[in-house]
Structure 1
Amino acid sequence: MSSRTTYALGGVALLVIVLIVVLVVRWNSDHSLKVQGDGYGPVHDPAVSVLLDSDGAIVLGKANAAKTIDVYEDPMCPNCGSLEHLYGQLIAQKIDQGKLAVRYRLVNFLDQKSGSKDYSTRAVAANECVADAGNGPVYSKFHTALFTTKQPSENGGDLGNEQLAAIAAEAGAPAEVQQCITKGQRVDSARNHAQSAMTTLKAAVGEVRTPTVLDGSNDLNLNDSGWVDKVAP
């Protein structure tokens, strides 16, 4: 075997080792993050309401909540799923305590990453159907499932309207809400609301990226594991 071939094989082997090390470090980093409020689950308190605003924002919280934040998410976004997995339960606890309300502004720029090419829009529509019924704990349970255990992967399959309706049923949504989802009754309005939310997001932070959490005009640092407690002590 020539020395040139030996060096080439050695270089490939070194590259493989470096790649493995990088992947292990990244895996350990991702799995070292602590789930905040682990075991709490979604919102419990029946006094928590949810409101579908005229601009499509979904406001979850008590009427006298001390603080309201804006959360921008795309239903296909894996980092949004991580946000909900890591901080969703603590956020739910703060909502139940009246310390926090969340104004969800759902977007759909990842439609093309779904198998149906319109999953994000249909999932936003499903969120609107559930929110419009006004039951805070039911919406919280539905939203949590959609962004964690039931979230499809990018460039993979997705969920049909019947599957979205079944998740809503599991969360406690009544038959008329399930029908709203199955028939796609809010798809057109959801598409318009999502586009409007993206325009607002770009104006606020200069780009469309999810997840983004705003406290007023302040773009919160989501890499700070204590951000929820800082915004709603």
Structure 2
Amino acid sequence: MSNPTSKHTPQPVSSKTTYALAGLAVVVVVAIVAALYLWNRGGGDEVRNDGYGPVRDPGVSVALDSDGAIVLGKPNAKTIDIYEDPLCPACGQLEKIYGQEIAQQIDLGKIAVRYRLVNFLDSRSKSKDYSTRAIAANECVAQAGDGPVYSKFHALLFTTEQPSEGGTDHDNKELAAIAKQAGASDDVAKCITAGERTDTGRAHAEASIKALEELVGKKWGTPSVFIDGKKIDVNNKTWVLDAGK
């Protein structure tokens, strides 16, 4: 669920603690109301750098770290960590508002992004494993190494193609089709369709949750953004530009 504290705030968030402790009926009502509130509030938010789109520079690479982090950027750029769940509405709002500005700063070599994907919202998807499968799909695309393709895929999954909590979600064939829309190869699509990285993606999600808990404790939420272990206030509309200074 999401509880924005200002007009321009896409977080906090979807909170693991809240989902775990609340009764199922309460969770469903609160999640739906909070998501509607977030999107209605977000509708008036200014999209930063609107029209830029995803990463453009073919010199931008993407790599899959051993711990599952997906690193998008140019060498020697300042790295920011973004923790997010593919089903999290507030994460979608973060991408909607700041994703294009992030893409431009990556193209300029100002920042690189280390995406740390988590799956605590699996149970809020119809398939009961959407977040995990979406993480696996992200890894299939990332391991191909094409930065602009990964950037477009990530943007699609968190904006126009993001499922709603409690609603229907994408099966693996649909995730593969979205990857193809982003420019991924047939081999990448086969990786997604076959679910080749599902178990690995699940393990990496658990590692990301552990890393997030080490940073902020058990009461964490998504999206969460860090630079050098310090949590960034994304209520500040210039946080992306500030990160690249």
**Could you report, residue by residue, the CA deviation over 1:2-49 in whole angstroms, capped at 9, with x for unpaired residues?**
xxxxxxxxxxxxxxxxxxxxxxx9877433321011000000000000
Deviation at 1:104, TM superposition (A): 0.2
Partner amino acid for 1:175? D
The 1-side partners of 2:40 and 2:149 are apart by: 34
The residue aligned with 2:139 is 128
Paired residue type of 2:200: S
Higher relative contact order (CA 8 A, sep 6+): 2
Residue aligned with 1:193, SS: helix
- Separation (CA, whole Å) in 2 of partners of 1:195 and 1:114: 18
Summarize the alignment of residues 1-233 of structure 1 with structure 2, pairs less than 5 Å apart.
29-65=41-77, 67-206=78-217, 207-233=219-245
- RMSD over equivalenced CA pairs, Å: 1.3
Where does structure 1 differ by over 2 angstroms across 4 or more consecutive aligned residues? 25-32
Displacement after TM superposition at 1:56 (Å): 0.3
Q: Deviations over 1:174-211 (max 9, x none)?
A: 01100000000000000000001001101101133100
TM-score (norm 2): 0.83
Partner of 1:10: none
Q: Distance in 2 between matches of 1:107 and 1:146?
A: 14
User: How has the CA–CA distance of structure 1 residues 28 and 114 changed in structure 2, closer, same or farther, with 3 Å as cutoff?
Assistant: closer
Secondary structure at the residue paired with 1:63? coil
Q: Tell me which amino acid in the other structure corresponds to 2:56.
A: H
1: CA distance between counterparts of 2:230 and 2:39?
Answer: 30
Which of 1 and 2 has greater Rg?
Answer: 1
CA distance in 2, matches of 1:63, 1:104: 16
Q: Per the alignment, in what secondary structure is the counterpart of residue 43 of structure 2?
A: helix
Which residue identity is paired with 1:61?
A: G
Work out the number of aligned pairs and report it: 208
- TM-score, scaled relative to structure 1: 0.87
Higher helix share: 1
Give me the whole-angstrom Cα distance separating, in 2, the residues matched to 1:63 and 1:228: 18
Task: Name the CA distance, whole Å, in 2 between partners of 1:27 and 1:128.
Answer: 28
The letter of the residue matching 1:73 is E
Tell me which amino acid in the other structure corresponds to 2:96: H
Structure 1 portions without partners, runs of 5+: 1-24
CA–CA distance in structure 1, aligned partners of residues 142 and 72 of structure 2: 9
SS at match of 2:63: strand
Cα distance in 2, alignment partners of residues 29 and 122 from structure 1: 29
Q: 1:131 to 1:28 in 2, by over 3 A?
A: closer
1:28–1:98 CA distance, 2 compared to 1 (3 A): same
What is the alpha-carbon distance in structure 1 between the residues aligned to residue 42 and residue 51 of structure 2? 19
**Gapped runs of 5+ residues in structure 2?**
1-36
Identity of aligned residues (%): 61
What is the CA deviation profile of residues 60-86 of structure 1, one whole-angstrom value per residue up to 9, with x for unaligned ones? 000121x10000010000000000000
C-alpha separation between the residues in 1 aligned to 2:105 and 2:126?
A: 35
